[in-house]
């Protein structure tokens, strides 16, 4: 068992002994590409979305130095017609680029370290092959003299571009290494397949990309691999049953990513952490990319601040993902920042409407933390004012609530003028940003004989009251309260057993003033 050549199946073994979701059907997809013109696969995913898990799984399946039959028996791949044909049949080179970076005494030596380390192991495994100094030459000689082809797996292939983003000489050296492997007449001779993972999609470096022949699967276009991006809802539901975890809470915290052929995708690393720790919370701050979130939302790109506020308020914003250059340095406009955050997993993307949005509670909390600690003091003040608004709502201080909503409307993210109740609703969402800590927000909640405009529903084990908000435009706040009562909106909470606050908000376009009326409604269980 080597360090880089035929590393064995211990990585996958440890995975299956932990909280595990069977994603082995992905192997059948890779099997279908072996030896074809589609054999080069590149998958870009955020941190905590299972990239390294997939790499370890593929190593265990293809590596001919180990016997992985016992590991895969009973898993989904064992039912596939290609299972026996390729199980443990190849020399597998597995490279974790972040490992090489962490081991290097000088990052400028990383490319030489990769070349020399793999060449040395290959020559130890095949001592009769004439020695050569370059990796491509060495692999070519092995294949020519033995007929053995390789499968190469590169985890975090783009790490060097992130860690040495200003070292053009080192980047060129790395590109030349990749080009010698994957963009030459030897590629088809040496490799049966290659699988690379990264955080960002492939960027064109120099005159051409060294990896342009790879088929890409990204957060914007996952294609056939959409089911392997994260955990699907049936998979999470099964985990919740197995480990006795509240599914609705899990969904609220970690769901929200949606794709054309798969509507509900969960962040795998966060789901596993929540089960293992027996606690729902945010685990993104432990990732390297959290620093990127703080850095990029502090930029002064036109419209970025407004977009952030709107998304914090639960809205979606339009984004042109086509301008992004697939790196973290050439950020020139708001859409570049938003597209980068989609790839980093901090935003989800609706491919039909071409809109970005904050996917779930976990990510929303990270946004708030990053904003409060950042340079956009106007947004930070908005969040602070929202804390006060929630407090005054609970105290039923109608004048203070109306004043706080007026302040929220003055932010550049709110509609400049109202021409309907939906515009008013946008301001209310922004004003009540702080409700995210204690409440689940639902627009147009079906209840009684209609739909409550906005319902703030306390999270599990919270002692907070339900808040039902009805909006009016050029009418009266009393009329809003009357509508809540007349249409019996509170009846959906008849088993809640706690208090309900009825909040009527009206905007008078003539005097450009908000008014508010708040009543307490006691809903006894079973009534």
Cβ of 40: how many Cβ atoms within 10 Å? Answer: 22
Q: Is 398 part of any domain?
A: no
Kindly state the DSSP code that residue 130 receives in the 8-state scheme: P
Q: Please give the share of the chain, as a percent, with pLDDT higher than 90.
A: 55
Whether 29 and 80 map to the same domain: the answer is yes
- State both tokens at 186: 């030897």
CA distance 81 to 155: 27
Whether 34 and 169 map to the same domain: the answer is yes
pLDDT tens-digit map of 280-289: 988 876 666 6
Residue ending a domain, choose from 372, 404, 438 = 372
Q: How confident is the model at residue 16 (pLDDT cuts 50, 70, 90)?
A: very high
Contact (CB, 8 A) for 55 and 160? no
Q: How confident is the model at residue 416 (pLDDT cuts 50, 70, 90)?
A: low
Residue 410 C-alpha from the chain's centroid: 32
Whether 324 and 427 map to the same domain: the answer is no
What is the average per-residue pLDDT within 135-149?
95
Q: The pTM is what?
A: 0.84
CATH number at residue 164: 3.40.50
Whether 448 and 322 map to the same domain: the answer is no
Domain assignment of residue 245, given as a range: 231-372
Whether 192 and 97 map to the same domain: the answer is yes
Residue 417 has pLDDT above 80, yes or no: no
Residue 209 has pLDDT above 80, yes or no: no
Q: Name the pairing type of β-strands 150-155 and 91-96.
A: parallel
Whether 212 and 93 map to the same domain: the answer is yes
Q: How confident is the model at residue 385 (pLDDT cuts 50, 70, 90)?
A: confident
Q: Is 244 part of any domain?
A: yes
Q: Quick one: pLDDT at residue 44?
A: 93
Residue 299 has pLDDT above 90, yes or no: no
Q: Is 272 part of any domain?
A: yes
Contact (CB, 8 A) for 202 and 216? yes
Q: How confident is the model at residue 307 (pLDDT cuts 50, 70, 90)?
A: confident
Whether 240 and 213 map to the same domain: the answer is no
Average pLDDT, the chain: 88
Count of domains observed in the chain: 3
Q: Is 394 part of any domain?
A: no
3-state secondary structure of 354: coil
Residue 447 has pLDDT above 80, yes or no: no
pLDDT tens-digit map of 20-74: 999 999 999 999 999 999 999 999 999 889 888 999 999 999 999 999 999 999 9
pLDDT tens-digit map of 93-138: 999 999 999 999 999 999 999 999 999 999 999 999 888 889 999 9
Contacts of 62 (CB under 8 A, 6+ apart): 86, 88, 89, 90, 92, 151
Whether 68 and 183 map to the same domain: the answer is yes
Residue 174 has pLDDT above 80, yes or no: yes
CATH number at residue 518: 3.40.1350
Q: Name the pairing type of β-strands 150-155 and 191-198.
A: parallel
CA distance 402 to 406: 6
Q: Quick one: pLDDT at residue 326?
A: 78
What is the average per-residue pLDDT within 473-501?
85
Residue 159 has pLDDT above 70, yes or no: yes
Residue 263 has pLDDT above 70, yes or no: yes
Q: What are phi and psi of 488, to 5 degrees?
A: 55, 45
Residue ending a domain, choose from 315, 345, 372 = 372
Q: Is 401 part of any domain?
A: no
Q: Is 406 part of any domain?
A: no
Q: Quick one: pLDDT at residue 525?
A: 46
Residue bearing the bigger pLDDT, 365 or 30 = 30
Contact (CB, 8 A) for 34 and 152? no
Whether 178 and 250 map to the same domain: the answer is no
Whether 340 and 461 map to the same domain: the answer is no
- State both tokens at 250: 């899990």
Which among 342, 314, 344, 200 is positioned nearest to 258, based on CA atoms? 342
Tokens 């008078």 belong to which residue? 508
Contacts of 60 (CB under 8 A, 6+ apart): 8, 9, 11, 12, 13, 66, 68, 71, 72
Whether 438 and 367 map to the same domain: the answer is no
Q: Is 411 part of any domain?
A: no
Residue 292 has pLDDT above 80, yes or no: no
What is the average per-residue pLDDT within 502-524?
86
Q: CA-CA distances (angstroms) from residue 171 to 107, 137, 187, 198, 204?
A: 11, 21, 21, 16, 12
3-state secondary structure of 505: strand
CA distance 490 to 512: 30
Q: Quick one: pLDDT at residue 354?
A: 94
DSSP collapsed to 3 states, 48-63: CCCHHHHHHHHHHHHE
Q: Quick one: pLDDT at residue 526?
A: 44
Q: Is 123 part of any domain?
A: yes
Q: How many Cα atoms sit within 13 Å of 476 on the Cβ side?
A: 5
Residue ending a domain, choose from 337, 372, 407 = 372
What is the average per-residue pLDDT within 493-507?
85
CA distance 229 to 257: 10
Whether 30 and 108 map to the same domain: the answer is yes
Q: Quick one: pLDDT at residue 361?
A: 87
Tokens 């060449």 belong to which residue? 119
């Amino acid at each position: 068992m080597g360090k880089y050549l035929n590393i064995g199946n211990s990585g996958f073994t440890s995975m299956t002994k932990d909280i595990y979701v069977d994603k082995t059907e992905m192997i059948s997809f890779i099997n279908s590409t072996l030896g074809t013109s589609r054999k080069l696969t590149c998958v870009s995913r955020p941190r905590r979305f299972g990239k390294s898990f997939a790499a370890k799984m593929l190593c265990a399946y293809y590596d001919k130095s180990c016997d992985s039959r016992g590991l895969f028996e009973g898993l989904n791949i064992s039912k596939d017609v290609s299972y026996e044909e390729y199980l443990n049949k190849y020399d597998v080179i597995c490279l974790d680029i972040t490992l090489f970076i962490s081991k290097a005494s000088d990052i400028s030596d990383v490319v030489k370290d990769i070349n020399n380390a793999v060449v040395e192991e290959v020559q130890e495994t095949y001592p009769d092959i004439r020695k050569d100094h370059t990796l491509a030459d060495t692999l070519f000689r092995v294949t020519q003299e033995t007929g053995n082809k390789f499968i190469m797996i590169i985890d975090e292939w783009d790490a060097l571009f992130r860690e040495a983003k200003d070292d053009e000489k080192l980047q060129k050296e790395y590109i030349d290494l990749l080009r010698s492997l994957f963009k030459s007449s030897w590629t088809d001779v040496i490799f049966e397949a290659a699988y690379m993972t990264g955080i960002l999609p492939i960027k064109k470096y120099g005159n051409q990309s060294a990896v342009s022949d790879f088929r890409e699967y990204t957060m914007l276009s996952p294609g056939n691999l959409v089911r392997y991006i994260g955990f699907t809802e049936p998979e999470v539901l099964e985990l919740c049953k197995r480990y006795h975890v509240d599914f609705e809470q899990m969904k609220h915290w970690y769901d929200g990513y949606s794709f054309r052929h798969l509507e509900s995708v969960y962040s795998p690393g966060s789901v596993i952490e929540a089960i293992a720790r027996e606690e729902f919370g945010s685990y993104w701050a432990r990732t390297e990319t959290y620093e990127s979130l703080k850095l990029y939302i502090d930029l002064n790109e036109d419209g970025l601040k407004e977009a952030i506020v709107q998304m914090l308020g639960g809205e979606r914003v339009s984004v042109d993902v086509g301008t992004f250059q697939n790196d973290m340095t050439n950020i020139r406009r708001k859409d570049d920042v938003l597209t980068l955050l989609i790839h980093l997993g901090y935003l989800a993307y609706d491919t039909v409407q071409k809109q970005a949005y904050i996917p779930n509670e976990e990510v929303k909390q990270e946004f708030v933390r990053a904003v409060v600690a950042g340079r956009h003091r106007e947004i930070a003040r908005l969040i602070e004012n929202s804390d006060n608004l929630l407090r005054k709502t609970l105290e039923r201080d109608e004048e203070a609530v109306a004043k706080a909503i007026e302040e929220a409307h003055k932010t550049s993210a709110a509609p400049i003028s109202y021409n309907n109740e939906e515009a008013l609703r946008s301001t209310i969402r922004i004003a009540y940003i702080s409700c995210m800590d204690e409440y689940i927000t639902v627009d147009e909640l079906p209840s009684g004989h209609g739909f409550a405009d906005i319902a703030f529903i306390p999270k599990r084990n919270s002692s907070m009251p339900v808040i039902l908000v009805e909006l009016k435009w050029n009418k009266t706040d009393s009329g809003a309260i009357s509508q809540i009562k007349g249409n019996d909106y509170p009846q959906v909470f008849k088993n809640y057993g706690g208090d309900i606050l009825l909040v009527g908000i009206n905007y008078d376009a003539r005097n450009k003033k908000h008014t508010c009326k708040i009543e307490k409604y006691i809903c006894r269980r079973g009534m």
